[in-house]
Each structure stands twice: as structure tokens, then as C-alpha cells.
Amino acid sequence: MNPDLRNLIVLQDLELGIAGLQKQYSEIPQIIQSKENELARLRSEHDRKVEQSRELANQRRALEGSVELLRSKLARLKDQLMAVKTNKEYTAMLHEIQAAEDHIRSEEDRILDIMEKTEDMDTGLGRAEQEMLRTSAGIEEEIRKTKESAPLLEAEIARLSAEKVSVESNIEADLLARYRRIAEALRGVALAEAKDELCSACHVRIRPQMYAELLRTDAILVCDSCSRILFHRENS
């Protein structure tokens, strides 16, 4: 294989590798922000459930206080019942006592309903909290690893970039300039492997005569379809 072409293959592999690492590096802030948003959402959802449980407890206390007041009122009404002098007053007092008793039963039913809801919610909250803590710990670990990957990526990009400069220095200037023009026009991919008489980039069949020439000479040939520089791997 033409030595310059061999170096171009190495160069393209390095540049594609650098581009991939740079993309990973550029995505780190977005990944971290996404993970932190997920963490905040989990905690907010848990806090909302805790607040719901507290609200139910407050409602229960308020109802229990209301029942105590109603019981006091009922006791007074029963005491007053003994002091009424007419049947009309007696009947009216009985109706008021009945209404108070009905109100107490209604409030007590509401208290029982809240107690059932609270019991179910508190049981679920215990499990949900453990799950939230496990999930949060996993997300925090992902954030930590993502942050730690930044300097490693930077170091690898620097290493590959230095290797790239070294490889570029071994390529004939005109050929390197040609490679750059093609790469700029074709999204960074100036070289395409020729395999089984096909261009691996555009998947168009290579002319038999050109394919045969590619296999037996060191000439720099380009794909008739996509204009990329063709190469054939020596171990293919």
C-alpha cells in the first residue's frame, strides 16, 4: 500500500476518534444537568407524598378537635333537655340532639377514612423512600462518574491530537491538502474502504478495472460516486 495512503488511513481514524471524544466531552454538562433534574424530580415527588401524609394527619387532628367540641355541645344539650318545660321545646331539643349525634358519626366516619388512607400511605411511603434512596444513590454515582470522565477525555483528546500532528508530518503536503478538501466537503470522512467491489461509504459498485487497479498498485484512486479516496485493507 502507498505509505501516504496508509498514513491517511491512520489520520482519518485518529480524527474520527478525536471527533467522537469531543462529542462525548461536549455532552457532559447536558448529561449532568439531565441527571440532576431526574434527581430533583425523584426527591420532589417523594416530598409531595410526605406532604400529603402530613396534610391527612392535619385533617385528622382538625376533625378530632371538631368531634370533641360536638361531644361537649351534645353533653350540654342533654343537660338542657332535663330543664325544658313544654313538649314543643322537648321535641326541638331532641331534634337538635339527633343532629349533633349525626354530625359526630359523620365526622367519626371521616376520621376512620383518613386513618385508613394514612395507614396505606405510610406503608407505601416507607417502601417508596427506600426505593427513592436507592435510585438517588445510583444517579449520584452516575453524576460522579460523568464528572470524573471529563479530565480523562481531555487527556485522551490531547494524546490523540499529538499523534495526529505526528502522522500529518509524514504525509505529502499536496495529498494532505486534497484529503482536507474532501473531508471538509464530506463530513470529515475523506477515505472509504473498498470491499467486495463496493465503496463502503456510498455503497456504489466500483468499476472492475478500477477495483483491480486498486488491488495491484499504489495509485491514489477515488470513488466515481462519492469522490472519496478509496483504500483496500491489506488483511482483507
Number of Cβ within a 10 Å radius of residue 202: 14
Lowest mean pLDDT among 25-39, 45-59, 158-172: 45-59
Count of domains forming the chain: 2
Amino acid 205: pLDDT: 95
Are 112 and 200 members of one domain? Answer: no
Mean per-residue pLDDT, 140-169: 96
Among 201, 77, 9, 63, smallest CA distance to 223 is for 201
Mean per-residue pLDDT, 91-108: 92
For the full predicted model, state whether its pTM sits above 0.75.
no
Are 197 and 116 members of one domain? Answer: no
Amino acid 235: pLDDT: 60
Q: Which residues pair with 231 in a beta bridge?
A: 193
Are 155 and 57 members of one domain? Answer: yes
Give percent of the chain with pLDDT exceeding 70.
Answer: 99
The CATH number linked to 53 is 1.10.287.1490
Are 47 and 24 members of one domain? Answer: yes
Are 96 and 74 members of one domain? Answer: yes
Q: Which residues pair with 222 in a beta bridge?
A: 229
End of a domain among 125, 141, 171?
171
Are 179 and 207 members of one domain? Answer: yes
Mean pLDDT of the residues in the chain: 91
**Residues spanned by the domain of 225:** 174-231
Among 222, 213, 207, 189, smallest CA distance to 13 is for 189
Most confident of 55-59, 126-130, 162-166: 162-166
Residue 1 lies in a domain: no
Residue 57 lies in a domain: yes
Are 103 and 191 members of one domain? Answer: no
Are 130 and 180 members of one domain? Answer: no
**With 60 as the cut, is the pLDDT of residue 236 above it?**
no
